[in-house]
Structure 1
Amino acid sequence: MIAGLALASVSTFALAQSGPLTIYTSQPTEQMDTIVSAFNEAYPDIEVEVFRSGTTEVVNRLQAEFAAGSTPADVLLIADAVAMTRLKADGRLAAYADAPVEGLPSAVIDPDMTFFGTKLITTGIVYNTELVDTPPTSWMDLTAPEAAASLTMPSPLYSGAAVYHVGTMVQQPEFGWDYYETLAENGAIAGRGNGGVLEAVARGEKAYGIIVDFMPLNAKADGSPVDFVFPSEGVSAITEPVAIVEGTDNMEAAQAFVDWTLSEAGQRLSAAQGYIPLIDGVELPEGRPAPSQLTILEADLDQMIADDEANKRAFADLFGG
């Protein structure tokens, strides 16, 4: 459980920021446009450029640019603490000791102050309300042959959230790889990202999906025939960390963006976009629990990093690559 959270302070915003700022992100384009617009209301002299793709492709582009000698990226906002931890280990992230983290849960803050969670994105179950009479309540419900045969999920070969979810699930004694083997044997499939999962379930091609929470909940609010379940055993949760790239050409602007995303204003926008904020006290969209009400499945991040390539190979062996 995450409890006892308070509103983050905005008093430590950096001053006198201007000039170009390039952000590499996996956040959906429309949402990122809104973030940039709101950020520019507070910092109108910062000229933001965005490169947006899936987390894995963002990191691959970064690595290629590092290998070539430099990257235009100043800030990263990606859905993968595993990738952030690796970039940190490679010396690619700049420490920001004065980041405004007061009131945030310590679990979302890198101890070395190189990256910081910006929201809670849980992974649970989406289902088509026109195809499913009795909604699932647990992860184990998906292993039933009739459920697994109509189940789709994102692949950790493409999705940063799936990397974390699979890595978390296989560390749980009650699940492990036996869980995924059962899903595969009973006909479950994997696509690429979470967007494809939502489309398949919303169109009725599949009755169930494993997916990050905000996509189906936002779609439901827009009238799509889907709903979302927070499984009874608990959920995996990523925090879409933000980080400053080592060697940025505009440190002050990069710090300003980190400040803003962690502030009450940034947290309120996250909630308005359908995410679960890091702090209690922010008005929540319909269907979202307060952070203190969530049961989060615990995972050893160092072990997840050590097992990452093996996990991806094992998943590909079961569901294809």
Structure 2
Amino acid sequence: MKISVAFLLLAFFCLCGCTAKDERPVVWIYTSLYKDTIAEIQPLLNKAFPNFRVQFFQAGSEEVSAKVSAEELAGGTRADVLIFSDRFWFEEMAGLKRLHAYAPKNTEKVDDMFKNKDSFYTVVSLPVMVMIYNTEAMTADQAPKTFKEMALPKWKGQFATGSPLASGTNFTTVAFLQKAYGWSYFEGLRHNDTIAEGGNSSVLRRVQTKERPVGWILLENILRLPPEQKKIQIIYPGDGVVLQTNVLGIIKKKGEMKNAEAVADWFFSPEGQVVLTHSYMYPTVPGVPAPQRAPPLADILKKAQKWTPQFVQEILKDREDIKEEFARIMLQ
């Protein structure tokens, strides 16, 4: 069978076209955002920035920070933009001048307590730690009303928390509650046989099975459940939710930073902030509505403890001691 030269040339060029390498520059985002959130964000970034590609590495906050640190020790991280919840790590990197000083567009509207004073990072969204209870184990009247009361003897064998050794948001919660109530509070939790293991999914599982019918957990984990489910109910503690911070920073590198800066701008744009509320986290730019089925941010902030510069520096200095003391009290 004879095959024309024209046909062979056409096939060759089609093959070359199909396998052509994308030569556009890449902006790498290392993040602890949920995978379904990334799936929603990716096409929006592709549309917004046709001149470069955006790729993600997704893992928990502890793993993301460890990966960046390991890559830096090996000669330089691939990451350009970082988004995860360990604000104390960002503060440490800012002190070492490892982050690029940049104030994304719209961040002038963000409350000062959510920004580094030298613009090395800005909080892009706000998860909140609340409490939950199983309605098959107690009524709303019987359910606890505060974090503080969980150290009372009446709650023996009833409470589950995550571990600050496994979860950045649980570390922040421990740091705030220790500052408010001292280590005697955690001694009370230990005396009550509180289970303090794993992350938020572990707490949810224990409350659902009634192994421990009360727990502290991120609000987003509960708002992701079907609205029609009634077994697990939310408690907004009377002594204030624990406000978490999902932080955005840019790694300091030689050369052009405009693509990374443009991506940072996008996350603080109305489009970027709205997408983050789909993960049931509060936006930090005023004017963007709260997540569905969540109370207004103004109500949340009324009783929440404040992220002061003094608190950030104090916890940064003491964080290893906090983890060690928690482990001594709760895990030994």
Equivalences, count? 302
Q: Give every structure 1 segment of 4 or more consecutive aligned residues whose post-TM-superposition deviation is greater than 6 Å.
A: none
Give, in whole Å, the separation in 2 of the partners of 1:288 and 1:30. Answer: 19
1:168 aligns with 2:179: no
1:22 aligns with 2:35: no
Aligned residue number for residue 273 of structure 1? 279
Q: Within 5 Å, give how 1:43-58 maps onto structure 2.
A: 43-58=49-64
Give, in whole Å, the separation in 2 of the partners of 1:237 and 1:104. Answer: 15
> Structure 2: which amino acid aligns with 1:307?
D
Residue 298 of structure 1: how far off its partner (Å): 2.7
Aligned match for 1:153, one of 131, 145, 161: 161
Aligned residue number for residue 320 of structure 2? 309
Aligned residue number for residue 298 of structure 2? 292
CA RMSD of the aligned region, Å?
Answer: 2.1
Give, in whole Å, the separation in 1 of the partners of 2:313 and 2:45. Answer: 33
Describe the shift of the 1:140–1:219 C-alpha distance in structure 2 as closer, same or farther (beyond 3 A): same
Residue 224 of structure 1: how far off its partner (Å): 6.7
Length-normalised TM-score, structure 2: 0.84
Residue 84 of structure 1: how far off its partner (Å): 0.7
| CA contact 1:280–1:292 (8 Å) conserved in 2 | no
Give, in whole Å, the separation in 2 of the partners of 1:224 and 1:46. Answer: 45
Aligned residue number for residue 67 of structure 2? 61
Length-normalised TM-score, structure 1: 0.87
> Structure 2: which amino acid aligns with 1:267?
Q
Residue-by-residue CA offset, 1:25-62 (whole Å, 9 max, x unaligned): 11222222222233333224432222222211211121
Give, in whole Å, the separation in 2 of the partners of 1:289 and 1:198. Answer: 21
| CA contact 1:96–1:114 (8 Å) conserved in 2 | yes
Q: Within 5 Å, give how 1:1-321 maps onto structure 2.
A: 19-97=25-103, 99-133=105-139, 134-172=142-180, 175-219=181-225, 221=227, 223=229, 225-247=231-253, 251-294=257-300, 295-298=303-306, 300-320=311-331
Moved more, 198-207 or 311-320: 198-207
Moved more, 49-58 or 32-41: 32-41
Describe the shift of the 1:20–1:232 C-alpha distance in structure 2 as closer, same or farther (beyond 3 A): same
| CA contact 1:235–1:296 (8 Å) conserved in 2 | yes
Give the structure with higher Rg (CA): 2
Moved more, 205-214 or 107-116: 205-214
Moved more, 51-60 or 270-279: 270-279
SS of 2:26's partner is strand
| CA contact 2:32–2:61 (8 Å) conserved in 1 | yes
**Counting helix residues as a fraction of each chain, which structure ranks higher?**
2
Give, in whole Å, the separation in 2 of the partners of 1:248 and 1:25. Answer: 22
| CA contact 1:55–1:158 (8 Å) conserved in 2 | no
Identity level (%) = 27
